[in-house]
Structure 1
Amino acid sequence: MLLLFTLILSVVLLARFFEERFRVPFALSSIFLAYLANFVFDLQTFGDFFPEIVYLMLPIILIPDVLGVSRSELKNNLVAITYLSLIAVILSIAMAIGITYLVLPEYYFAVGVLLALFAPLMATDVVSVTSIFGHFKLPVKLKLYAEGESLFNDITAMMIFFFVALPLISGHDFAFSQFTLNFGKMLFESVLIGLAVGLMGYYAFKFFSDSVEQFLSLYIMASMAFLVSEHQGVSGIMGVVVTILLFKYLFDKEGHYKKLDASSLYGFLNSESASEVNFRAYRKEAHYLGFFANGVIFVAIASVVDLQLLWKYHLEILLVFVLTTLIRFLMISPLIWWKKHPFRWSGALTLAGMKGGLAVIMVFALPEDFIYREAFMAIVLGVVMLSMFVYTGLLVPFLKYYAAGFALDKADDRHHYSDQEAKEQLKKILQKDSKTQAYNALVFEELVEKEMARSQRHLEPFALLAFETEDVKLIKHKVLPFLRKSDYFGKLGPQRYAILATYSDIDAATIFAHKLKDRLGDLHIAVAEYATGDTLEMLYDKLETAFHSRKPIDIEI
């Protein structure tokens, strides 16, 4: 077991190296490295316990993904995500079955048989999506569509597979009314379990004061939600998502409840459970653990790959891959047209349909005596591998080719441009503001990311200072003359400005902030220090937290 553990760590380390240095997606290099290792080491243990291993890792993978989801954005785009994760999945399976009947009428496949084939292939892999999308300047809404779909379409696919396909191929009758009842019951019970475990987990989190204990309580909470949901025969994934979202909601609301006696339930709810600094540290640690869990799953997938079996069914694999890709594009395009997004979003979301471990888990659950079991296992596994390599191989250059357009979408997704117009408009918006000489938010973001990379290489500190004002004269006469040659000045919003203070640790940033305060008078100043391991999102979260403080100068480290 120590050898397997060392192997997993090595795969994760090398995959991260290739991702950071050569922009090779983590999922792609992980599977490739794991498959190479399979020739040298005995990975049969992973193959024998593949479903158990994936289920064991799922809560660990889901925690950082759900912690990074914005509840407000999720709420604002609920209709689109519901379409992608529910309606589009059902329509895609129906279309795949219909096309199969038209193209291959001589085979007389039963509906249950085709459901058992196509339902697993509708579950996409959130790990691969976030791994690739995180390296590009993409609109928040586009990322939310892809990540929200990947989080929730698994539930729909698994419901259809386990509650419809398996009973049908086992000879049981199927009633649509019963399926609707089961589906509604599953959603209700999954949400109820998630809420109950999330509430108990939140109070357990508040009970502990040690940071290690609090961090472990997060994972126990997620694991309990998954275990209880699966034990009750409902969706463990939904249970985990609801649990973490409720926890985030309660954590964010601390201090906003009506002040009551500290001994009361509401008083306890109002008390602080952990500082923002500690919670950001938990997010980092969850992110690192997620990499390890992903490595385990990709090693497990590589251990069940049988090239001879895949070659035996290579034509079927190619046909199903092409069919599901075409159907996915046809299902996504109406949403993009309805929401009036640029058409390039259809291509990005289509290629974001990488399949993962859940698809393989479902096909592993087929009965041993099922006549098409070998063929379906080969086809599903083959499509999973093809989607990983082909979609990723196409998605990365696709995002690079349309980088200018996506950057414009990120700046303002209400306008739509052709490729040439996008490049011209991008050149304009990337220039400094003529009145304040502030870099555009996109350029400033690039400068911050470069400073983050430099800081990681050379261990040089830096900080962000921000304030809000409409007074252009104040900026011209008080801020610009105050800046050092090594600093960068940018505009983050209509009235929000930021200074990237290079070579500044927390002490230097504090002195800098007080001097700036003397010049700006009553304006509130927010300060965020970069800490090793911070992502851009985490750094901006610090700045946002500092803005909500009532202190004249609020410093977040």
Structure 2
Amino acid sequence: MALESATGEVVIVEQLQQFLLVLSVSLGVATLPQVFSWFRRIPYTLLLVIVGLGLAFVNVRLVNLSPELILVIFLPPLLFEAAWNLKWSDLKRDLSPICLYAVIGVIISIAGVAFGLNQFAGMELSIALLVGASLSATDPVSVTALFRELGAGKRLTMLMEGESLFNDGMAVVAFGLLVALPLGTATINLQSALWEFFQVVGIGISIGGLVGFGISYLTQRFDLPLVEQSLTLVSAYSTYLITENFGGSGVIGVVTTALILGNFGSRIGMNPRTRIIVTEFWEFLAFFVNSIVFLLIGDQIRFVILGDNLKTIAVTIVAMILARAISIYTLSNLSNWLTKSEISLPEQTVLWWGGLRGSVSIALALSVPATLPQREEIIATVFGVVLFTLLVQGLTTQPLLEKLRLLGSQPLRQEYMEAIARQVALQRTLEYLETTQKRPGIKSEFYNYQKTLIVGEINILQEKIDKLLDEYPNLEEFITNELRGELLAIEADTYAEFVRAGRLNKELSPFLQTINDQPDGHT
């Protein structure tokens, strides 16, 4: 018994050492852009992949990736953080094209990749379909991280994130159906496939909704920021595990829970201070997990195995890109015709090229049964394609956005908001300083010196803001939209305060629904 206990302790210590090593390397990579300015041209997530490749090249393996590690440990918090920040009114506006991309787009992707591999690489159709299913879903982790870092437009980011968050359910169902084909334990049946798809998605939405609304009403009963923050973390993992145990899509369950908590629960059950604490916590957790995931993706590459499957990888890449083009351009125009989505051709081009694959594809490939003879070929192909999308497509997405003028005034807006934030902070500092003027022990010389410094900084910032507004008149529309959003947020917070105080018996959701349906003009 003592020997088993000692062995268990050794394993825990070894795992902790591995975890700290991975984290240390990741955080070290995060500091590179601050030390070497050239690295600032590369998004942080892609820089992690490159460093991971460097480690793999010298055969330094930090830890072995497994489908359980990706799907159960890493994916739920990343999905939750992305969905928590999605605004329902924006998502609802583009729900039609997102659903088309997430469902029909996945089918087109599987068919395109399978056809290419079968016809041009001589791969058995059942194996080709399995590779297509593994690569059919754009990865929410990769896409969300990249588009946020690049500062892409809000509409474009919503379309890409929405598709990435919702197409995983379809991809996982397709993979589950197709993985039995090469083993000879199942045949394709359209009716059963559709039934399983709706069952998996329905269970995910149902359990996600129950958890989301349950926690939303629970947090109305108390105001404990740390407890409420912990509940969101518990909800992310518990929703995923419970949904998977009931045969549903854990991905869809987590996304549903996060959408409800982010758009409803955080409004009626959390005061503004708590919402900020929870949001910052999830931003930290997403950075933390992203730092590990992207480093390990690069570190898992086996160059010898990739070299042996170069032809298959090349055919898969071409087939995937062509299938993605057919899917995006066709479905976008269909959505424009049916629902007046007004997705422009430049936006469609970015959606096509920015369809990165990542951890979800790798997890599905690693889930292929060891009894399948072609397992190593499938894993090598998927890893090679994921590496291409992250490095080639990922590194060229920003130039494409700039070429198509889709980054817009995002850098200017950020510069303006930073100046405003600094000015507000200094103004509050000045107001506090004035309250200390008559405090015993404070000399007038010190007070006047500090006041002069602060007023000088405020005046410099005001000149900078005035210059920005003179040079870029389009910022005025952005400022107006920002103020409109702030006013709506204050109105929603006021309703929530009345509910918590028991002064408003009427259900709050109609109020919030009215507010959320109002256009805020953000782009």
TM range (shorter): 0.7 to 0.9
Q: What do the CA deviations read for 1:347-396 (whole angstroms, capped 9, x no partner)? A: 21122111111111111121222121111110001111111101112112
SS of residue paired to 2:417:
helix
The 8 Å contact of residues 348 and 398 in structure 1, kept in 2 or not, is answered as yes
Q: Hey, what's the Cα distance between the residues in 2 that align with 1:384 and 1:162?
A: 20
Q: Indicate conservation of the 8 Å contact 1:27/1:127, yes or no.
A: no
In the superposition, relative to structure 1, how do residues 444 and 318 fare at CA in structure 2: closer, same or farther (>3 Å)? closer
Correspondence for 1:428: none
**Per-residue CA shift, 1:57-96, capped at 9, x if unaligned?**
1111112201111111111111100111111111222233
Matched position secondary structure for 2:20? helix
The question of 1:373 aligning with 2:375 is answered yes
- Return 5+ residue gaps in structure 2 as ranges: 1-14, 337-341, 429-457, 496-523
From 168, 182, 199, the counterpart of 1:154: 168
Paired residues of 2:76 and 2:236 also in contact (CA < 8 A): yes
Change (3 A) 1:547 1:14: farther
**Corresponding position of 2:93:** 76
- Amino acid in structure 1 at the alignment position of 2:396: L
- Asked if the contact 1:161–1:362 (Cα under 8 Å) also holds between the matched residues in 2, the reply is yes
Give the 3 Å change call, closer, same or farther, for CA 194–444 of structure 1 in structure 2: closer
Greater displacement, 287-296 / 93-102: 93-102
Given that residues 46 and 53 in structure 1 are in contact (C-alpha distance below 8 angstroms), is that contact kept between their aligned partners in structure 2? no
- Do 1:18 and 1:29's aligned partners in 2 also have CA atoms closer than 8 Å? no
> Is contact 1:205-1:218 (8 Å) kept?
no
Residue 307 of structure 1 is aligned with which of 303, 307, 310?
303
Shift of 1:7: 2.6
Distance 1:230 1:495 in 2: 43
C-alpha distance in 2, partners of 1:299/1:225? 27
Match of 1:341 in 2: 343
| Structure 1 residues without counterparts, runs of 5 or longer | 255-272, 411-441, 464-482, 500-525, 527-539, 552-557
Please say if 1:246 is aligned against 2:215: no
> Hey, what does 1:95 align to over in structure 2?
112
Q: Check conservation: 2:204, 2:250, Cα contact below 8 A.
A: yes
Q: Which residue of 2 aligns with 1:545?
A: 489
Structure 1 residue 42 displacement after superposition:
5.9
Cα deviation, residue 98, structure 1: 3.3
SS across alignment from 1:119: helix
1:284-326 per-position Cα deviation (integer Å, ceiling 9, x unaligned): 1111111111122223323432111011111211121122012
Matches of 2:358 and 2:231, distance apart in 1: 28
1:464-503 superposed Cα distances (whole Å, 9 cap, x missing partner): xxxxxxxxxxxxxxxxxxx95642366877697599xxxx
Give the Cα separation in 2 of the matches to 1:288 and 1:196: 26
Give the alignment partner of residue 365 of structure 2, picking from 363, 370, 390. Answer: 363
RMSD across aligned positions (CA)? 3.2
Could you say what secondary structure the match of 1:122 adopts? coil
The answer for the alignment partner of 1:383 in structure 2 is 385
Asked if the contact 1:19/1:25 (under 8 Å) is kept, the reply is no
Match of 2:51 in 1: 33
Any conservation in 1 of the 2:56–2:301 contact (CA below 8 Å)?
no
Q: Does 2:236 align with 1:222?
A: yes
CA contact (8 A) 1:18 1:24 kept: no
The one-character-per-residue Cα deviations of 1:251-281 (angstroms, maximum 9, x if unpaired) are: 2552xxxxxxxxxxxxxxxxxx321122022
Rounded Cα–Cα distance in structure 2 between residues aligned with 1:9 and 1:363: 25
Letter in 1 for 2:175: F
Cα distance in 2 between the residues matched to 1:450 and 1:11? 33
> Counting strand residues as a fraction of each chain, which structure ranks higher?
1
3-state SS of the aligned residue for 2:180? Answer: helix
Q: Alpha-carbon deviation of 1:167?
A: 4.4
Partners of 1:147 and 1:301 lie apart in 2 by 20
Cα gap change, 1:367 to 1:498, in 2 (>3 Å): closer
2:117 and 2:315 in contact (8 A); partners too: no
State which of 93, 109, 123 in structure 1 corresponds to 2:124.
109
User: 1:321 is matched with which residue?
Assistant: 317
**Corresponding residue to 1:274 among 261, 270, 275:** 270
- In the other structure, the counterpart of 1:283 is 279
1:39–1:382: structure 2 CA closer, same or farther, 3 Å change rule?
closer
| CA–CA separation in structure 2 for the residues paired with 1:82 and 1:498 | 28
Q: 1:37 to 1:137 in 2, by over 3 A?
A: closer
Question: One-letter code of the match for 2:306?
Answer: L
How many Å separate the matches in 2 of 1:165 and 1:130?
A: 28
Q: How much has 1:206 moved relative to structure 2?
A: 3.9
Contact preservation (8 Å) 1:336, 1:345: no
Higher RCO by CA contacts (8 Å cutoff, separation 6 or greater): 2
Structure 1 residues 377 and 460: CA distance shift in structure 2, 3 A: same
Question: Equivalents in 2 of 1:542, 1:251: separation in Å?
Answer: 19
Which amino acid counterpart does residue 368 of structure 2 have in structure 1?
Answer: L
TM-score (norm 1): 0.70
2: CA distance, partners of 1:219 / 1:73: 25
Q: Give the Cα–Cα distance (whole angstroms) in 2 for the partners of residues 123 and 277 of structure 1.
A: 36
**In structure 2, do the counterparts of structure 1 residues 14 and 304 end up closer, same or farther at CA, with 3 Å as the change threshold?**
same
- State yes or no: 1:401 paired with 2:403: yes
Q: Which letter does structure 1 place at the counterpart of 2:253? A: G
Deviates more, 1:31-40 or 1:371-380: 31-40
Residues 384-423 of structure 1, C-alpha deviations (whole Å, 9 max, x = no match): 11111011121121122233x5528x9xxxxxxxxxxxxx
CA separation of 1:309 and 1:543: change in aligned 2, threshold 3 A:
farther
Find 1:354's aligned residue among 356, 360, 379.
356
**Partner AA of 2:327 in structure 1:** M
2:151 and 2:62 map into 1 onto residues whose CA distance is: 40
Counting helix residues as a fraction of each chain, which structure ranks higher? 2
Rate the CA distance shift 1:377–1:192 in 2: closer, same or farther, 3 A: same
Q: Which amino acid aligns with 2:309?
A: Y
CA distance in 2, matches of 1:210, 1:461: 30
* Correspondence for 1:141: 155
Residues 458-477 of structure 1: pairs in structure 2 closer than 5 A: 461=426
* Counterpart residue identity of residue 56, structure 1: I
Question: What is the aligned residue count?
Answer: 434
| TM-score using structure 2 length | 0.74
Letter in 2 for 1:152: F
Shift of 1:226: 0.3
Distance 2:328 2:399 in 1: 20
- The C-alpha deviation readout for 1:316-338, integer Å capped at 9, x for no partner, is 11121122012212211124445
Contact 1:60 1:219 in 2 (8 A): yes
